[in-house]
Amino acid sequence: MRLLIVTGMSGAGKSIVTDALEDMGWFCADNLPPSLAPTFVRLLESAAEPVEDCAIVMDARAGSSFEEAALILDGMRTEGTVFSVLFLDAPDEVLERRYKETRRQHPLLARQPSLGLSGAIAAERKLMEPLRARADYYLDTGNLRPSECKERMAELFAAGTQGVMQIHLNSFGFKNGAPHDADMIFDVRCLPNPFYIAELKAHTGLEKCIEDFVFSFPESREMYNRIQDLLLFSLPLHKKEGKSSLTISFGCTGGKHRSVLFTRLLGEKLKEDGWPVHVSHRDIDKGVHGRQ
């Protein structure tokens, strides 16, 4: 049985994730008290009709019993239960906005209303630290639409993905904030910038005119080759260590030109070499106004 513990910050998208998992045929148990998890797993394993994929959602809604969640999971691993932990997160300001938009109450406010929303989020983040430290998968949903979140679940947990290291390449603009879920970040702001060329400003790194401009400079070609060599050397090592998912991000100032170009070309190269690669460009559609 493939077992996944889904946890993370309230408002980070656990309901969207469980909907996506159920659409893929997973059995999902929501808001299970951590103390019941070992017994629940044993019941599933002994059921007459076997469950192939099961996700258990544990979070702050469990109240004070959630404080023992990390120790309980450690005990399950010691007893030989095999599972992965998915931690969902988002920046505090995003979580606050989502709660204000839905007008729902944060679970910690039911017990400590004097905290206020920002205080409840801060308290929950501290409560979640032990589980975040144990996470096998970390997903920042702050900049993801629900459809994109479901796509990431399909990439990670659809049938046939078990045991395969999934590689996520994405581009971003530093002016919009660096991603929190990246295992590696390459900063390509040191390369010549097409933004300052009037006829190139409105184009993106998906287009050949940007590729021709950026790679007309020897330092760009050398940086690309060095990053490519590093990835081709290190990816097998990550796989050997049992890494199930690797997120590699490329950042320039605006996220439209240089970072997009490097992400696109390296994605094509890794796919040619047989790696399961998923490419995305976070900020490519955020306009060309302002300094890039």
DSSP bridge partners of 221:
none
Percent of the chain with pLDDT over 70: 96
Percent of the chain with pLDDT over 90: 74
Residue 288: the pLDDT is: 47
Residue 158: the pLDDT is: 79
The string of pLDDT tens digits covering residues 85-115 is 999 999 999 999 999 998 889 999 988 999 9
Q: Which of 105-119, 129-143, 150-164, 263-277 has the lowest mean pLDDT?
A: 150-164
Q: Which two tokens stand for residue 131?
A: 């589980």
The string of pLDDT tens digits covering residues 38-88 is 999 999 988 888 888 999 999 999 888 898 999 999 999 999 999 999 999
Residue 253: the pLDDT is: 96
The string of pLDDT tens digits covering residues 228-251 is 999 999 999 998 887 878 999 999
Residue 192: the pLDDT is: 97
Residue 164: the pLDDT is: 72
Residue 292: the pLDDT is: 39
Contact (CB, 8 A) for 255 and 286: yes
State how far the Cα of 159 lies from the Cα of 272, in Å rounded to an integer.
23
**What's the pTM?**
0.68
pLDDT-based confidence at residue 260 (cuts at 50, 70, 90)? very high
Strands (E), the chain: 2-8, 27-29, 53-57, 84-89, 137-140, 166-173, 184-187, 245-252, 277-281
Contact (CB, 8 A) for 187 and 176: no
- Distance between terminal CA atoms of the chain? 48
Residue 160: the pLDDT is: 62
Average pLDDT of the residues of the chain: 91
User: Domains of the chain (ranges plus CATH)?
Assistant: 2-157 (3.40.50.300), 166-281 (no CATH)
Residue 110: the pLDDT is: 87
Does the pLDDT of residue 154 top 60, yes or no?
yes
DSSP bridge partners of 248:
169, 184
Residue 159: the pLDDT is: 66
Query: How far is the CA of 241 from the CAs of 8, 204, 236, 244, 245, in angstroms?
Result: 25, 36, 9, 9, 11
The string of pLDDT tens digits covering residues 76-87 is 999 999 999 999
Residue 166: the pLDDT is: 84
**Average pLDDT for 212-240:** 96
pLDDT-based confidence at residue 291 (cuts at 50, 70, 90)? very low
Strands 245-252 and 166-173: parallel
